[in-house]
Structures are given as C-alpha cells and as structure tokens.
Amino acid sequence: MCWLIPKIFRKKGSILAESDPMKKFLVVGLGNIGEKYAGTRHNIGFQVLNALSDQKEVAFKPEKLGDVAEVKIKGKSVLCLKPSTYMNLSGKAVKYWMEKEKIPLSNVLIITDDINLPYGSIRLKAKGSDGGHNGLQDIQDKIQTTAYHRFRFGIGDDFSKGGQTEYVLGKWSEEESALLKERLRRSIALIESFVHAGAKNTMNTFNNT
C-alpha cells in the first residue's frame, strides 16, 4: 500500500508531487497540434520534448490546454508541456500551468524554433523580444513580461523572399534529418543543465554549440 502515499499527500488538482516551488520547473515546447504539422521545423519544441520523454521513459497525457508529462532531473520535478492551443496562442497554456503548479518564472523554459540561427544551433536566453515569433509574442502578452528563459533552436533561413511560412511549416530536409538525432540529444542535455546547474552556467556551456 506504500504506493498510495504520494497520491494521498499530493495537492488536489496538481500534476507535480513536489511542494517546494524552487524544485519545480515548467519546460514548454512550442508547436502546432495535428499530423499536418508533425515533423515540421516550426514544431521543434514538440520534438525536443518527445525526445526527452522517450529518454526518461515517461508518456505524455492530455490535460487542460495541452499534453503534459512529468520527468525527474537531479531530484527536481519538471512538468513538460506541449500546448494544444496552436502556436500563436501558446501564452494561455503557459500562464495556466505556471499558476496551477505554482512554478516561479525563473524556473520556466520555452523551447522555440528560430530562423535567425543556423540549423542545429542552440542558444539559451534569459530575456528578450519575441523576434517576430507569434508564439513568443503571445506568451509575453499573457504573462506580461519578456524576462523569461527561452531555448532557441536554429532552423536556418534557407528560403527566398515570401517563402518563410512555407519553410517553417515544411518538413526537415534529408540532410537536416540526418543530423537531428544528435541535436536532440544536445537539446536534452541543455534542459538538464538548466534544471540542475542554472541558466548562467547553461548559457556558458551550450550557447552556440
């Protein structure tokens, strides 16, 4: 009967069993739901979290405003979220789960694609503008700050004038796909570092690698 104990003491409605706010993290992978968008450049946030959940052998389950999974990293509880709101309305899901799980802003990490970085480049930033990314714009509108951590995964800008939408919503090229597995492993390592070593150390170790 010992397996019942965590459920008995878990706060009603909470996904995470952890009660200490500083040991709770929210990692959000941005993307669009549906088979139409699966495996596209714009959905790299979903792909990173899928790779993390596979490595940790946990499954996502549907909850309000998105699919969620809990993973443990160095004794800390991480709620992984794939919003079901579509990219441009991601802020609603981020705000809801921050408040529901009482996760401090300093422990929130948003994973997004970035056309301003070469393919496969990864960079952690502690704050900044939305850079024209509608998902990031909606997040900052909903949480009323630009001072949140974002993990930018470079998808490159190999498109002609007027071709940005088709490019970001397109599938990875054969060459990109061949390199993606290693880049996903590196992305998981960045997330783990963010959780247990902090943002500053993670930026020093991973930015532009």
42 is catalytic: yes
CA nearest to 111, candidates 40, 53, 42, 166: 42
Taking the C-alpha atoms of residue 160 and residue 203, their distance in angstroms, rounded to an integer, is: 32
What would the two tokens of residue 1 be?
A: 């009967």
Distance of CA 40 to the CA centre of its chain: 15
Return all residues near 31 (Cβ < 8 A) that are at least 6 apart. Answer: 37, 42, 43, 44, 45, 46, 47, 82, 83, 87
Q: At what angle do helices 44-56 and 174-197 cross, to 10 degrees?
A: 60
Catalytic residue (one of 42, 133, 149, 196) = 42
Beta 66-73 vs 61-63: how paired, if at all?
A: antiparallel
Q: What are phi and psi of 24, to 5 degrees?
A: -115, 135
What would the two tokens of residue 192 be?
A: 């783990």
Burial class (CB in 10 A: 0-12, 13-18, 19+), 86: middle
Positions annotated as catalytic residues are 42
